[in-house]
A and B are shown apart, each in its own frame.
Chain A
Amino acid sequence: MTKAQPNRLARGGLIDRSRALQFYFDGHTYTGHPGDTLASALIANGVSLTGRSFKYHRPRGILSAGSEEPNALVELRTGSRQEANTKATVTELYDGLDARSQNRWPSLAFDVLSINSLLAPIFVAGFYYKTFMWPAALWEKLYEPAIRRAAGLGRASDEADPDTYEKATAFCDVLIIGGGPAGLAAAINAGKSGARVILADENVNFGGRAIDDAAVIDNIPAGAWTAAALSQLGAMAEVKIMPRTTVFGVYDGGTYGAIERVSDHLAVPARGQPRQRLWRIVAKHTILASGATERPIVFGGNDRPGVMLAGAVRTYINRFGVAPGRQAVVFVNNDYAAMTATALDQAGVQVVAIVDSRATPSDTVREIASATEAQLLSGAVIVDTRGSKRVRSVCVRTAGAEKVTLDCDLVAMSGGYNPNIQLTTHLNGRPVWSDALVTFNAGTLPPGMAIAGAAAGQFGLKSCLASGATAGFDAATASGFGSAAAVGFNAIDESAAIEPLWRVDGCRGKAFVDQQNDVTVGDIELAEREGFRAVEHLKRYTTLGMATDQGRTANVNALAIMAELTSKTIPQTGMTVARPPYTPVAIGAFAGHHRGQDFKPTRLPPSYAWAKEQGAVFVETGLWLRPSYFPQGGENSMGRLRTNGRAPASLPMDSASA
């Protein structure tokens, strides 16, 4: 190792720099700090290549900083605890963590099946349906085994899971899903009235985007404000704070499913502790404050390692204290993401250019560009990226249709924001398109649910906090816990002005829409030509959005591109709804303790002891263990009995009770 953690910033972030954790990735030893995720620790160590893509085996890096990650999937741990397709962006670092990249052979840097990339013209949408049709007899013998070998990403362990999983039930007046600024504002307002409140967040740390954006609330940094809010909530007897808990599904009667990752941040669960706990939470009222997910922009080579979501870049700088590059280009169609340039500049990263697709960028963007001394290219788009295992330069088409090459090792892109409204659609709610916000908003909400913050399209921090406070106060009041007045919070509303940009036309390289399932713009165009224009057909024909990330970075872009191709509006084209679970949940967690003998107990007939004395060989008949036959004089199998012409022992009388 040359220098430990070359991309670690000197200060900042919620990490404990006083302690170092050692971890392994593909056999190499690296160090990180408590508070890191595997992704942030890899970035700190200058690792940008984390896996190979599903179909074309293209090099892929880290795209996001959250559970929407499509690319940075690893095999975590070894032996019986090995877990495939784990998102590096949500895997908390622990000492001795062992992870390996997936879908590559013999090594990540040199991968034989990357030849698929050259064969790309034949691996189009519907390739399997079109190619392996005839002769039918070959399917079973040849095609299926060959496809199965090449398919899939990670490998699961063959051994039984040594850990335990629990189930638990909780009741509350107000369930708050998401512990960002809106969720915390709601919790304080609901909690102070004395209502029973549960505040759940999928991360270990609360504060959400306020911390990622290094925002200021009530005139103090968001980190300090969050800590103060949590200690205030901790002092309220009826408030239960649940970190590492993802509410993944909405069910009838105000019932919610949640998964608490009790021990996933440890190598081995503590004695007596389960790995995960499945919660059934029954809530009178619920506030969905799940935030928003950034959309990528679809341009040529937008999957190259070093191309990241702008919000993720700010997260790595502000939450984890790492710089994801040295020279950055910021590519946006909205004001909010332009502040990434400021964050990069403050972290000492050179901002080469801000590429704003809008013909006339706002004053906000102009100010940021001049403050960061970045070149502002308005009305411009990135058409292609270059570099083998990491982006080295981008090709920009300016407003005057000139091509300019900019050297960079980081592209921070943002095509806008999708509110995380998946939970509102679990009981048949239908999202509603908003032209003003250029996104889908929640339509009809499940009974008892209110929505606040960025999830409700309130992207500015001030309005986000205000909507959270109101929702918390209203939910407590409706539960019969009135209090004097809602507590408000002081912050600034950032501009979130946006003009839609779904894809960049005229790209030479592949432009990816769904990075986990390797679906490109070309695949959507093909689906359109072949008549698979309805969203449900598009999805099934191209496998778009069907990966473990549920297409959270892909679905809306794909819908918008199909709308462009068919000259329809987005609401005319369709919408995206989600099914539970919001993030993958281990089957073991649903099973809980009900596995092995605890799922299927063995029942012994009254004659069991006697039959055993007689040397019976037993057979399972349902749950019952019954004597099958009584071997005599060296006989050792049923077959021998049959050849000897002797009838098997008759079943005992109690067989009637089975």
Chain B
Amino acid sequence: MRIICPHCGERGLDEFVYHGDASLTRPDPASATAMADFVRYAFERENKAGAHRELWYHSAGCHAWLVVTRNVITHAIASVELARDVALARDLAARTGA
């Protein structure tokens, strides 16, 4: 498998480290349902066949955190974004939406 890093270009899999599901957001520990939220955050996964958003760390390259959208059946990669951009966009959406 090969990933096209936005900074470095196309690189082999052995330059990257997988860091799990990118669609998760850390729950608010102060919330009333914090316990249940954290159980869901830590353990519950859907394991869908198809597109999956996941975190990859370019450890043997530019050290960027990436959000890769990958089809887990065919391993075809639909998009690679910087995790920073994804997080900023989410924050922005949360702020403007609020």
Contacts and interface: CB of A to CB of B under 8 A. Distances in A.
B1 A282 contact: no
B63 interface: no
A136 to B, nearest CB: 37
B12 A282 contact: yes
Nearest to A169: B12
Interface string A396-427: 00000000000000000000000000000001
A56 interface: no
Interface in B59-88: 74-76
Contacts of A532: none
Interface in A217-261: 251-255
B7 interface: no
Nearest to B70: A252
Interface in B5-58: 12
Contacts of B90: none
Contacts of B76: 447
B12 A251 contact: no
A298 B2 CA distance: 45
Contacts of A169: 12
Interface string A419-439: 000000001100000000000
B17 to A, nearest CB: 17
A254 B76 CA distance: 11
- Secondary structure of the B side of the interface? loop
A280 B76 CA distance: 19
A475 to B, nearest CB: 19
A254 B74 CA distance: 13
Chain B interface residue bracket vs A:
under 10
A580 to B, nearest CB: 15
A103 to B, nearest CB: 40
Point out which of A169, A251, A252, A282 has the most chain B C-beta atoms below 10 A from its C-beta: A252
A445 to B, nearest CB: 13
| A251, A253, A254, A428, most chain B CB atoms within 10 A | A253
A254 B2 contact: yes
Contacts of B2: 252-255, 282
A252 B75 contact: yes
Interface in A324-347: none
A460 to B, nearest CB: 35
B1 A280 contact: no
B83 to A, nearest CB: 21
Contacts of A255: 1-2, 12
Contacts of B75: 252-253
Nearest to B73: A428
Contacts of A253: 1-2, 75
Contacts of A254: 2
Contacts of B1: 251-253, 255
18 contacts: A169-B12, A251-B1, A252-B1, A252-B2, A252-B75, A253-B1, A253-B2, A253-B75, A254-B2, A255-B1, A255-B2, A255-B12, A280-B12, A282-B2, A282-B12, A427-B74, A428-B74, A447-B76
Given A169-B12, A252-B1, A427-B74, 15 more contacts: A251-B1, A252-B2, A252-B75, A253-B1, A253-B2, A253-B75, A254-B2, A255-B1, A255-B2, A255-B12, A280-B12, A282-B2, A282-B12, A428-B74, A447-B76
For the complex of A and B, the 7 pairs showing the least CB-CB separation, nearest first, are: A253-B2, A252-B1, A252-B75, A253-B1, A255-B2, A282-B2, A251-B1
